[in-house]
Every structure is written in structure tokens, then in C-alpha cells.
């Protein structure tokens, strides 16, 4: 897992939304919340320094978009290769999208340059 890196570089978390699902703003907000909490919890006690630093810097979050679930999975593979924390939300299927749909990936929190290396080509949501 990526460490806190350069102390002069800001930490951030990126949330990438799967556009092909046509989710409403409320659904996107809920899915981004799920992703943020899940990736945070996945870091656990072994990565307290990373979490504390991100928290002390204001918990920077950026929302981006991608075209498909395939692209979300490619981002997950790139994040894994870069040893970045990440989590893909698969929807329960109770409201707007089919069960198992990949809705959002959270990447980070991690040093901005490391996250940008994976997500830099994506556009803002």
C-alpha cells in the first residue's frame, strides 16, 4: 500500500463515477459515500499515519467520471499495480441500477501525484 510519501505533497481521494448507468445526483452522492467509507475502513489501524495526514489536510476529495464498468475495473487494476488504496462499489440493486452494477471507485487517500498517475486522464464529474 502506498505510504504518505513527500510531506510537502497534498493527499487526496478520487471518486470516479460510472456514467453509463445514468444515476441521479442523489444516487451518485450515496454511492460516493459508500466508496469513501469503504476505502477508509479498508485501511484500518496499519495506515493511521496516512489517514491522519489526509484528515489534517481537510480530506481533499475530487469527483471524476468514466464511461463504463470496464473502465472502473481498469482503474482498479492500475491502482492495485501502483499500490494505492481503492474500492469499487457494487450496487445492491434496490433502486435505480441492477444488482452487482459497478457504480463508483474510490482511489486514495494517497499522495496527489500517485493518484493523478492513475486518474489524470479522466474528466471532472
Residue 6: predicted pLDDT: 73
Residue 1: predicted pLDDT: 58
Break the chain into its structural domains and give their ranges: 11-119
In this structure, which topology does domain 11-119 adopt according to CATH?
Bit1 (3.40.1490)
What mean pLDDT is predicted for residues 108-115? 96
Mean pLDDT of the chain: 94
Residue 2: predicted pLDDT: 59
pTM of the model: 0.93
Residue owning grid cell 452487482: 100
Range list of β-strands (E), 23-101: 61-66, 86-90
pLDDT tens, 13-57? Answer: 999 999 999 999 999 999 999 999 999 999 988 889 999 999 999
Cα 124 from Cα 62, distance rounded (Å): 8
Amino acid at each position: 500500500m502506498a505510504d504518505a510519501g513527500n510531506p510537502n505533497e497534498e493527499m487526496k481521494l478520487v471518486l470516479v463515477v460510472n456514467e453509463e448507468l445514468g444515476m441521479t445526483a442523489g444516487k451518485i452522492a450515496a454511492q460516493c459515500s459508500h466508496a469513501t467509507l469503504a476505502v477508509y475502513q479498508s485501511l484500518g489501524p496499519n495506515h493511521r499515519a496516512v489517514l491522519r495526514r489526509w484528515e489534517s489536510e481537510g480530506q481533499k476529495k475530487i469527483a471524476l467520471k468514466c464511461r463504463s464498468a470496464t473502465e472502473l475495473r481498469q482503474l482498479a487494476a492500475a491502482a492495485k499495480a501502483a499500490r494505492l488504496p481503492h474500492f469499487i462499489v457494487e450496487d445492491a440493486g434496490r433502486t435505480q441500477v441492477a444488482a452487482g452494477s459497478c457504480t463508483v471507485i474510490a482511489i486514495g487517500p494517497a499522495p496527489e501525484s500517485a493518484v493523478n498517475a492513475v486518474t489524470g486522464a479522466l474528466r471532472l464529474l
